[in-house]
Amino acid sequence: MSTGPDSFGPAIPLRSRLRFGLEWLSVVPFIVFALMFLAAPTVSLVVQAFTDRAGDFTLDNIRGLATDQIVRAYTISIQISLASALLGAIFGLLIALALIRGRLPHGLRAAVMTFSGVASNFAGVPLAFAFIATLGRLGLVTLILREAFGFDLYRTGFTLFSFWGLTLTYLYFQIPLMVVIITPAVDGLKREWSEAAETLGASTWHFWRYVGLPILWPPFLGTLSLLFANAFGAIATAWALTGSNLNIVTVLLYNQIRGDALQNPGLGAALAIGMVVITSITNIIYLVAAKRAERWMK
């Protein structure tokens, strides 16, 4: 009877084992990062959400999520996120379609994509200050409209420090983010498909109704969910622009964890858990939509 390595199956070459080990070693930094900055904080939030100030188990923090103030905060945050995500997705898709399938200059695409990459990451205090300087009561655009055209923007009821003001501010990075993410999907629409549809007698409307939009719908839905999560978790821009004037969940969470009068870390952890649940749902939608989009593109 053979007692060599072949008795237990084919031997794995030393070079293959070393390469396999190096591949796993290269993934270790990502695993450590995920455990330190994703898994560990999430576990800590769960523990704090079910712990009172004395360190004992309690459900009061979870029950506190049902209070009117917190329910309104979640409602306003979801409404702002939906509004900015829908508007950003629609306008971003139109821009991507114009760049790729329109007759715009070819060099314009590179300029728009470069700007979109930068603007999609422009947020926080600088963005809030830019909008105050532009659309505030003494902002440049506000003064031009008032002095040159006799139109007082703030007499219409608009204010930058409100629901639509914050939504408009969010659109500055939502639209570019949509352009960056949806452009590869739009680029995947082969012109041969529209030419074949035209040859068969289909109009432009029929092509988009039965071919273009069904193919773009999964990536559109996936990107829409990402835009929602992007706006839902934003705090720096909202805090710098509106402070505590607009009751959104991220500002309320900050007040509960870092505030002086309203400080309640356990309730803040429960608020964060609620946000994690909502953003997890949007991420699941994105993953499902992205998988379906890949199948379509194949």
Rounded to whole angstroms, the Cα distance separating 117 from 49 reads 37
Which token pair is 47? 């523990």
pTM higher than 0.85, yes or no?
A: no
List the CATH code of the domain at 68-297: 1.10.3720.10
How high is the pLDDT of residue 83?
96
SS in 3 state form for 85-147? HHHHHHHHHHHHHHHHHCCCCHHHHHHHHHHHHHHCCCCCHHHHHHHHHHHCCCCHHHHHHHH
Can you tell me the distance from the alpha carbon of 292 to that of 298, in angstroms, rounded to the nearest whole number?
10
> What are the φ and ψ backbone dihedral angles of 3, each rounded to 5 degrees?
-115, 10
Reference 172, options 223, 107, 237; nearest CA is 237
In single-letter form, the type of residue at position 255 comes to N
Cα–Cα dist 213/90, whole Å: 13
Tell me what pLDDT residue 73 has: 92
Q: pLDDT in tens for each of the 298 residues of the chain?
A: 445 445 444 555 656 665 666 677 778 888 888 888 888 888 888 998 898 888 888 899 899 899 998 999 999 999 999 999 999 999 999 999 999 888 788 788 889 999 999 999 888 889 999 999 999 988 999 999 999 999 999 898 888 888 999 999 999 999 999 999 999 889 888 878 888 888 888 888 888 888 888 888 888 998 999 999 999 988 889 888 887 778 899 888 887 877 655 577 888 889 999 998 998 898 888 888 777 766 666 5
Helix 140-149 and helix 125-135, axial crossing angle in degrees, nearest 10? 10
Residue with tokens 């926080």: 124
180 touches 230 (CB < 8 A): no
- For the chain, what are the domain ranges? 1-49, 68-297
pLDDT (0 to 100) of residue 254: 81
Distance CA 185, CA 218 (A): 10
Contact 167, 84 (CB under 8 A): yes
